[in-house]
Homo-oligomer: A and B are copies of this chain.
Amino acid sequence: MKLYNFTLAPNGRRVKIFLKFKNKEIPEQEINVREGEQFKEPFKSMNPFNCVPFLQLDDNTIISESISICRYLEEEHFPEPTLFGSTAKMRAYIDMWNRRLELDGYSPLGNAIRNKSSFFVNRVLAGTRNDIKQMPEIVERGVQMIELLFQRIDHHLEKNKFICGEQFTIADITGYSIFKSCELLKFEIPKTLSNTIRWRDTLYKQDCFDV
């Protein structure tokens, strides 16, 4: 198998963090997304969504979506230490938290960044090159959503070191990506949400994020 990646992009980093946590390496090829290589062959035929990362299996099946790639790598190749959970109940619980963090935080923040930064003019939607315009309202909504998410999780984090408890999971990797997106947007976590800030500081000390 071979991983096609752009390590500077947040989703590319999620797979790198996963591998660092597992202390594993797999064959990799960087695709220079800034130069638009993902729109050229052979890449555009491999992944018509024109996004990275994607994983090519030995039978040439392409798996894109960073979480789906990590799910596959854990299940098929690198089961321990688990990041997705070792029982059906824990897998569902971790999946729930990862979804909440993605749908209510990481994804709206990603949309906010793409609608704000001059870097993303003419590529507001991931994997496109067109004239869809940046909308400041989507930046505003992203900030509203992350404020709500942090309010919702702060009490839960009072009794939990990581988002799913004592165990570091794939949802913490999503959490880390949220905090890095907040930095990019210069969004400051309200000081009253002390458990959320403690979670961020705990995450920032983990070795696996040094990729």
Contact = CB atoms under 8 A, between A and B. Distances in A.
Nearest to A155: B48
B92 A69 contact: yes
A26 interface: no
Interface string A119-155: 0000001001000100101101100110010001001
A92 B107 contact: no
A152 B128 CA distance: 11
A108 B132 CA distance: 15
Interface of A: 48-49, 57, 61, 63-65, 67-69, 71-72, 75-76, 88-89, 91-93, 95-96, 99-100, 102-103, 107, 125, 128, 132, 135, 137-138, 140-141, 144-145, 148, 152, 155-156
A123 B57 CA distance: 44
28 contacts: A48-B152, A48-B155, A49-B100, A57-B89, A63-B92, A63-B93, A64-B96, A64-B100, A65-B95, A65-B99, A67-B95, A67-B99, A68-B92, A68-B93, A68-B99, A69-B92, A71-B92, A72-B88, A72-B92, A75-B88, A75-B92, A76-B88, A125-B144, A128-B148, A135-B141, A137-B138, A138-B138, A138-B141
A107 B96 contact: no
A204 to B, nearest CB: 25
Contacts of A128: 148
A125 B100 contact: no
Contact of A137 (B57, B65, B137): B137
A118 to B, nearest CB: 19
Nearest to A128: B148
